[in-house]
Structure 1
Amino acid sequence: MKQQELNHQDKKDMRLAGWKNSYWVRLLLFALMGIIFYVSLLGPLVPQKYDIQLGQPAEKTIYAPKQIENEEATDMAKEDAAKKVPDDYKNINFKNEQAVYSVYSKINAINGDIETKFEDKVNLYRTVITSVISEYQAGIIKNFSDKKLYSEELIAEIRQKVNDQTYKIPEEVLYKVPRLTADDINEMLPVSREIVARLMMDQINDAQTVRAKVAEQVNMSTLTKASSREIAQEIIKAVIMPNKFFDEKGTNEAKAKARESVKPIYINKGEELIRAGTIITQDKYDMLEKNRLLKDKANYSAHIGLLLIIFLCCMMLYMLARHMKSSIHNNNSQLLMLVVIFTLTLIVMKIFGIAQNVQGPNIAFLAPVAMGTMLIVILLDVQLAFVSSVLFALFASIIFDMEHIQPFDYSYGFITLVICCSSIFMIQKASQRSTILKAGGLISFFSVLAIVAIMLLSNSEITSKEALLSLAFGAGGGVLTSMVVIGLLPFFELAFGILSPLKMVEISNPNHPLLRKLLTETPGTYHHSIMVGNLSEAAAEAIGADGLLCRVGSYYHDIGKTKRPSYFIENQTNIENPHDRIEPELSKSIIIAHPRDGVEMLKEYKIPKLIQDIAMQHHGTTFLGFFYHKAKKLAESEGRDPSEVTEEQFRYPGPKAQSKEAAIVGIADSVEAAVRSLRNPTMEQIDSMVHKIIKSRLDDGQFNECDLTLKELDVIAKTLNEALLGIFHSRIEYPSDTKTEVKANG
Structure 2
Amino acid sequence: MKNEVQMKGKFHYRLSGWKYSTALRVILFLLLGLIFYTSLYAKLVPQVYDIQLGTKSEKTIYAPRQIENAVATEQAKEDAAKRVQPVYRIVNLKNDIMLDAIFDKLLQINSDEEVKFDDKVSIFRTVIPQMLSDLQSQAIKSLSISGQYNDPLLEQIQKGLAEQSYPLPEEAYFKLPRLTKEDLADMRPVAKDIVGKLMNDQVLDAQTARAKVAELVNTSKLTKTLSREMVTEIARTLITPNKFFDQKGTDDAKGQARENTKPIYINKNDVLVKAGDVITEEIYARLDKLELLKDKANHLPQLGLGILAALLSFVVFMFVKQSKLQLAYNNTQLLMLVLIYVINILGMKIISIIQNVEYPYVGYLAPAAMGSILIAILLDAPLAFISSVIFSLMSSIIFNTEHEQLFDFKYGLVTLVICFSAVFTIQRASQRATILKAGFMIAFFSMLTITSILLMEDHFEQREVLFSLAFAAAGGIITVVFVIGLLPFFETAFGILSPLKLVELSNPNHPLLRKLLTETPGTYHHSVMVGNLSEAAAESIGADGLLCRVGSYYHDIGKTRRPSYFIENQTNIENPHDRIDPNLSKSIIIAHPRDGVEMLKDFKMPKAIRDIAEQHHGTTLLHYFYHKAKKLVEEDNSDKPVREEDFRYPGPKAQSKEAAIVGIADSVEAAVRSLRNPTLEQIDSMVTKIIKSRLDDGQFNECDLTLKELDIIAKTLNETLLGIFHSRIEYPSEVAPKKNE
Aligned length: 521
Q: Could you tell me whether the CA contact under 8 Å between 1:560 and 1:599 is conserved in 2?
A: yes
**Residue 704 of structure 2 corresponds to residue 712 of structure 1:** no
Deviation readout 1:317-365 (Å, 9 max, x if unpaired): 2333333323222333222222221111111101110110286111111
Answering whether residue 453 of structure 2 is matched by residue 454 of structure 1, we say yes
Structure 1 residues 459-505: Cα deviation after superposition (integer angstroms, max 9, x where no partner): 7x210110121112112211221122112222222322322211111
Q: CA deviation at 1:674?
A: 0.5
> Contact between 1:53 and 1:280, CA under 8 Å: does it hold in 2?
no
Matched position secondary structure for 1:16: coil
| Aligned twin of 1:412 | 411
- The answer as to whether partners of 1:365 and 1:470 remain within 8 angstroms in 2 is yes
The one of 603, 606, 609 aligned to 2:604: 606
Within 2, Cα distance between the matches of 1:545 and 1:438?
27
Does residue 1:352 correspond to 2:351, yes or no? yes
SS at match of 1:485: helix
Where does the alignment leave 5 or more consecutive residues of structure 2 unmatched? 69-262, 274-278, 729-741
1:699 to 2:696 alignment: yes
Q: Identity of counterpart residues, as a percentage?
A: 65
Partner of 1:30: 29
Give the Cα separation in 2 of the matches to 1:350 and 1:333.
26
Give yes or no for contact 2:527–2:555 (8 Å, CA) kept in 1. yes
Partner Cα separation in structure 1 for residue 588 and residue 695 of structure 2: 25
Counterpart position of 1:466? 464
Candidates 649, 673, 677, aligned match of 2:670: 673
Q: What CA distance in whole angstroms lies between the structure 1 residues aligned with 2:691 and 2:592? A: 22
Instruction: Write the distance in 2 (CA, Å) between the matches of 1:595 and 1:61.
Output: 66
Give the alignment of 1:115-514 within 5 angstroms.
Answer: 294-297=293-296, 299-357=298-356, 360-458=359-457, 461-514=459-512
User: 1:378-408 deviations in whole A, cap 9, x for unaligned?
Assistant: 1222122111111111211111111112222
Cα distance in 1 between the residues matched to 2:46 and 2:338: 27
The alpha carbon displacement at 1:682 in A equals 0.6
Contact 2:48 2:297 (8 Å CA) reproduced: no
Equivalent pair of 2:369/2:479 in contact (CA under 8 Å): yes
Quickly say closer, same or farther: Cα 1:647–1:399, change in 2 above 3 A.
Answer: same
Shift of 1:4: 4.1
**SS state at 1:325 partner:** coil
Amino acid at match of 1:320: F
Tell me what 2:514 maps to: 516
- Structure 1 Cα separation of the partners of residues 514 and 9 of structure 2: 34
Question: In the alignment, does 2:683 pair up with 1:686?
Answer: yes
1:654 alignment counterpart: 651
Q: Distance in 2 between matches of 1:454 and 1:358?
A: 18
Structure 1 CA distance, aligned partners of 2:690 and 2:529? 17
Q: TM-score normalised to the size of structure 2? A: 0.65
Query: CA–CA distance in 1 between the matches of 2:47 and 2:603?
Result: 56
| Cα displacement (A) at 1:683 | 1.0
Within 5 Å, give how 1:724-743 maps onto structure 2: 724-727=721-724
CA distance in 1, matches of 2:357, 2:453: 23
The AA in structure 2 aligned to 1:631 is A
Verify the 8 A CA contact 1:427 1:439 in the aligned structure 2: yes
CA contact (8 A) 1:37 1:310 kept: yes
- Asked if 1:561 is matched to 2:559, the reply is yes
Once the two structures are TM-superposed, the CA of residue 294 in structure 1 deviates from its matched residue by: 4.0
Following the alignment from structure 1 to structure 2, what is the Cα–Cα distance between the partners of residues 327 and 60?
Answer: 48
Tell me what 2:94 maps to: none
Matched AA of 1:381: D
CA distance in 2, matches of 1:323, 1:440: 31
The 8 Å contact of residues 536 and 716 in structure 2, kept in 1 or not, is answered as yes
Q: Match for 2:582: what amino acid?
A: P
Aligned to 1:181: none
Farther off after superposition, 363-372 or 447-456: 447-456
Q: Gapped runs of 5+ residues in structure 1?
A: 68-267, 732-746
Structure 2 match to 1:723:
720
Give 1:615's aligned residue: 613
Structure 1: distance between partners of 2:291 and 2:565: 81
For residues 573-608 of structure 1, what are the alpha-carbon distances to aligned partners after superposition, in whole Å with 9 as ceiling and x for unaligned?
222221111222111111111111000000111111
Q: Secondary structure at the match of 2:355?
A: helix
Once the 2 structures are TM-superposed, how far is the Cα of residue 559 of structure 1 from its aligned partner?
0.3
How far, CA to CA, are the matches of 1:40 and 1:348 in structure 2?
11
| Higher deviation after alignment, 353-362 or 427-436 | 353-362
Instruction: Answer yes or no: is the 8 Å Cα contact 2:45–2:301 preserved in 1.
Output: yes
Amino acid at match of 1:614: I
Distance 1:63 1:42, change over 3 A: closer
Change (3 A) 1:478 1:618: same
Residue number in structure 1 paired with 2:212: none
Q: Residues of 1 paired with 2:487 and 2:321: CA distance?
A: 25
> In structure 2, what is the Cα distance between the partners aligned to 1:458 and 1:63?
27
The question of whether the paired residues in 2 share the 8 Å contact of 1:543 and 1:716 is answered with: yes
Q: Residues 66 and 407 of structure 1 are in contact (CA less than 8 Å); yes or no, is this contact kept in structure 2?
A: no
2:67 and 2:682 map into 1 onto residues whose CA distance is 76
CA offset digits 1:703-730 (Å, max 9, x no partner): 1111112221111111111111244599
Calculate the aligned-residue CA RMSD, in Å: 3.3
1:145-201 residue CA offsets vs partner (Å, 9 max, x unmatched): xxxxxxxxxxxxxxxxxxxxxxxxxxxxxxxxxxxxxxxxxxxxxxxxxxxxxxxxx
CA contact (8 A) 2:519 2:560 kept: yes
In structure 1, how many angstroms separate the alpha carbons of the residues matched to 2:63 and 2:622? 82
**Structure 1 length normalisation: TM-score?**
0.65
Query: 1:374–1:427: 8 Å Cα contact kept in structure 2?
Result: yes
Q: 519-528 or 710-719, which moves further after superposition?
A: 710-719
Amino acid at match of 1:666: G
User: C-alpha distance in 2, partners of 1:319/1:6?
Assistant: 40
Check conservation: 2:37, 2:305, Cα contact below 8 A. yes
Q: Distance in 2 between matches of 1:582 and 1:729?
A: 25
Distance in 1 between residues matched to 2:648 and 2:727, nearest whole Å:
35
In 1, Cα distance between the equivalents of 2:723 and 2:559?
28
CA distance in 2, matches of 1:720, 1:423: 35
1-side partners of 2:25 and 2:67: how far apart?
A: 36
The CA distance in 2 between the partners of 1:356 and 1:61, in whole Å, is 15
Q: Which residue of 1 aligns with 2:197?
A: none
Contact 2:53 2:280 in 1 (8 A): no
Shift of 1:17: 2.8
Contact persistence 1:444–1:474 (CA under 8 A) = yes
Paired residue type of 2:336: M
**Structure 2 counterpart SS, 1:320:** helix
Counterparts of 1:8 and 1:458 in 2: how far apart (Å)? 70
Aligned to 1:261: none
Question: Which AA in structure 2 matches 1:413?
Answer: G
Q: Is the 8 A contact 1:19 1:332 kept in 2?
A: yes
Question: Are 1:47 and 1:65, in contact at CA under 8 Å, matched by a contact in 2?
Answer: no
Displacement, 1:292?
6.5
Contact 1:333 1:496 in 2 (8 A): yes
- Give the partner amino acid of 2:345: L
What secondary structure is seen at the aligned counterpart in 1 of 2:295? coil
SS of the residue 1:296 aligns to = helix
Give the counterpart letter for 1:372 in structure 2.
Answer: G
Tell me which moved more, 6-15 or 53-62: 53-62
Question: Which segment is superposed worse, 563-572 or 671-680?
Answer: 563-572
1:61: how far off? 11
Per-residue displacement from partner, 1:601-634 (whole Å, max 9, x unpaired)? 0011111111101101111111111111222222
